[in-house]
Amino acid sequence: MGALFARRGVFLLLVVMLGFCAAFAGAWAGRRVLAPEPPMESRFHTLIHHDLALDAGQQARIAALETRYEAQRAQTDAAMRADNRQLAEAIRTEHGYGPRVAGAVDRSHQAMGLLQKQTLQHLFAMRAVLRADQAARFDAAMVEALTAPTR
């Protein structure tokens, strides 16, 4: 009788271990297959700071460019938030697509366009720091980012 319980115990232990292994394998496969691609900003950051093998001078120049861009971006983000508040107020007041809403939308689009221009200027300023071989990889990554299908 004791041998029967021992076999059941071993069998139960094997089933539990097999279940754990299957769950672990499923979670691992799900993360590998179904995990979203990192955002383009992260991929550019990885490219610039890890994949391009920048020398110390390049790193310092790019760090200065990034500091300047972050300050500029913070100002533009604040302006966009203010534009959104104005748009919300116009919607609350007009309850439709009236002249205040249209004006607020136009101001919001101007701020978004400014952010896009500032971002491109920042990217090209960083590109100017790169050697020709690094710039070619940078260009390829930028073209990929602009032409990749959206999900």
DSSP symbols for 10-28:
HHHHHHHHHHHHHHHHHHH
Read off the tokens for 122. 């920042």
Residue 131 pLDDT greater than 90, yes or no: yes
pLDDT digits 0-9 by tens, 60-117:
999 999 999 999 999 999 998 999 899 899 999 998 889 998 998 888 889 889 888 9
Residue partners of 125: CB distance under 8 A and separation at least 6: 65
- Global pTM? 0.67
Residue 37 pLDDT greater than 60, yes or no: no
pLDDT of residue 33: 61
Pick 35 or 73 by higher pLDDT. Answer: 73
Tokens 């004791």 sit on residue: 2
Residue 28 pLDDT greater than 80, yes or no: no
Residues in the chain: 151
Cα separation, 148 vs 130, in Å, equals 24
Q: How far apart are the first and last CA of the chain?
A: 61
For residues 113 and 121, is the Cβ–Cβ distance under 8 A? no
Residue 126 pLDDT greater than 80, yes or no: yes
Looking at 11-15, 71-75, 120-124, which range is the least confident one? Answer: 11-15
